[in-house]
Amino acid sequence: MPLVNVLLNGRAYTVVCDNGEEAHVRELGQFLDKRVRELSTSVGQVGDARLLLMAGLTIADELVESLTGIEERDKEIAALKAAALPADIQEREDRIAEALESAASRIEAIAGRVARA
């Protein structure tokens, strides 16, 4: 299994990952390092463990908020589909039926004129 070096707050950590995941793990490490550095500038150096914990909690909070938002949007979409789709389909069917009836009447009128001629 490949080993990847991840730099967090100036310290190197070696991480094992699956084959082909090296670049992704490096990107995740860079993302986490950015968060750790942002926290260290705002709260100061409070130790690696505490900085990593704070960064992890911050990211987890953002993730939960995002997942909750996605869940709410999914519910809204489902409700809109359930409420709007049947009425929309019925309205379209009614318009199509009217157009077909109108076309049939015109065709019958034309056929009647052709038959008299």
pTM above 0.85, yes or no: no
Q: What is the pLDDT of residues 57-67, one digit of tens each?
A: 999 999 999 99
CA distance 36 to 50: 10
Which sequence spans correspond to the domains of the chain? 3-82
Q: State the pLDDT confidence band at 112, using cuts at 50, 70 and 90.
A: confident
Q: Which residues pair with 12 in a beta bridge?
A: 7
| Structure token pair of residue 10 | 């100036």
CA distance 57 to 37: 15
CA distance 32 to 96: 57
**Inter-helix orientation angle 22-43/48-116, to 10°:** 120
